[in-house]
Amino acid sequence: MSLLDARGLTRHFGGLKAVDGVDFDLAAGEIHALIGPNGAGKTTFVSLLSGRLPVQSGRITLAGEDITGLPAHARVRKGIAYTFQITSVFPGLSVFDNVALAVQGGRGSARDLSRAVEAALYRVGLETLRRETAGTLSYGHQRLLEVAMGLALQPRVLILDEPTQGLAAGEIGAFKALVRGLVPEVAVLLIEHNMEVVMDLAQRITVLNFGRVLASGTPDEVRANPAVQEAYLGA
């Protein structure tokens, strides 16, 4: 049974078919990777899921409930959290305060704000940097802070848009362990260009190309698909 389901999602920009009739489903407890060449429509697609962009046609359901017309903040409260491809922390605030803001915007009752913040920071391994000003963190640490902010929302679905971009090679292993530790409580939609990370983490992979689904299946199925090889993996 799918937790998050999209049917026929479409978003054009003028004549450009950025997302063009995409079907996608995320099962509870699953890590599902969304891959494809630059400009394939991945970020646009998840912006439709999160409500950052309105859909032009198609339907989105969360646990069977139609959320297609809900604004972004209402989707967050329903349990869809989203980290941006471009880092979006508040640079002048401390690491702790960034996460505290997320806790307050999320689903939890957050009776103990400080404990909720610490839990999210521990999860991503940033607890020793809690007092640092977010803007002074390395790019990779800012991405991890975004993940902590996403988790602080207590999501059912966490959408990660290129979370390993800017992480040092030595940080990738810890990141993979972090994502593995999120399931099955949280279902993860992972946009990722690092194929090693994708093949290691994902139970299913959907490949977008020119706004359309080129292939969808297990890592082995997708890797063996000639159309995927030609459009993406072969490159």
Ligand X SMILES: Nc1ncnc2c1ncn2[C@@H]1O[C@H](COP(=O)(O)OP(=O)(O)OP(=O)(O)O)[C@@H](O)[C@H]1O
Partner that binds at residue 40, options Mg ion, ligand X, none, CB closer than 5 to 8 Å by kind: ligand X
CB-neighbour burial class of residue 80 (10 A; exposed 0-12, middle 13-18, buried 19+): buried
Binding residue for ligand X (CB under 6 A) from 3, 4, 6, 18? Answer: 18
CA distance linking residue 44 with residue 15, whole number of Å? 15
Phi, psi of 107 (to 5 degrees): -90, -25
- Binding footprint of ligand X, residue count (CB under 6 A): 12
Letters for 20-39 (x = contact with ligand X by CB under 6 A, - = none) are ----------------x-xx
CA distance linking residue 158 with residue 179, whole number of Å? 10
Least distance (Å) from ligand X to the CB of residue 89?
19
CA distance linking residue 228 with residue 208, whole number of Å? 9
Least distance (Å) from ligand X to the CB of residue 100?
29
Binding residue for Mg ion (CB under 5 A) from 4, 20, 43, 204? Answer: 43
Site for ligand X in 161-200 (CB under 6 A): none
**Sole window of 23-31, 84-92, 108-116, 224-232 interacting with Mg ion (rule: CB under 5 A):** 84-92
CA distance linking residue 37 with residue 34, whole number of Å? 11
79 belongs to the binding site for ligand X (CB under 6 A): no
Neighbours of 174 (CB within 10 A): 12
In terms of CB distance, is 102 or 158 closer to ligand X? Answer: 158
Which one, of 160, 161, 146, 155, lies nearest residue 101 by Cα? 146
Q: List residues near Mg ion by CB under 5 A.
A: 42-43, 85
Q: List residues near ligand X by CB under 6 A.
A: 13, 16, 18, 36, 38-44, 85
